Amino acid sequence: MKMSQFLCEDKQIKNTRKNTLLHCELSEQTLELIKESILFNCSARIEMDATTYVPVGDATEVGLLKFLQDADIPIHLLIQQKLGRIKNTSPFNSIKKRSACAIEHPTQPNKVVVYIKGAPEVIIDMC
């Protein structure tokens, strides 16, 4: 699975090149939130094959992790930031159509952030 486009900051961004994420005119704060949201609310894992780090797991999560890899973001290092910081999780299921993860933020002590992903109609209704 591959991300072909996304909507953010009132912009429709087509993922047309390997480094689209880093060259799409989003604010630095938004880029950080995108990276954190993908990495911290993810049950996929990163494995090393003969020469590269490979995401393994749910096809959607693997596609999102590959999107970060295409921007040369070191997912194999950044995903480790959530180790020991997970406060609670709510795994995805077909009834709720969403997942959530509460994590003590790795760079902001005493701050817990909740990352939620799922079906747009469910997430938008929660906002």
Over residues 49-85, the pLDDT tens digits come to: 888 899 999 899 999 999 999 888 999 999 999 999 9
Closest of 79, 20, 37 to residue 54, by C-alpha: 79
Domain 5-126 sits in which CATH superfamily?
Calcium-transporting ATPase, cytoplasmic domain N (3.40.1110.10)
pTM: 0.86
Tens digits of residue pLDDT in 93-125: 889 999 999 999 988 889 999 999 999 999 999
Sign of CA dihedral 38, 93, 59, 79: positive
Strand-strand pairing, 45-48 and 5-8: unpaired
Helix H or strand E encompassing 47 = strand 45-48
C-beta separation of 95 from 109 below 8 A: no
Calculate what percentage of the chain has a pLDDT beyond 90.
54
Domain positions in the chain are 5-126
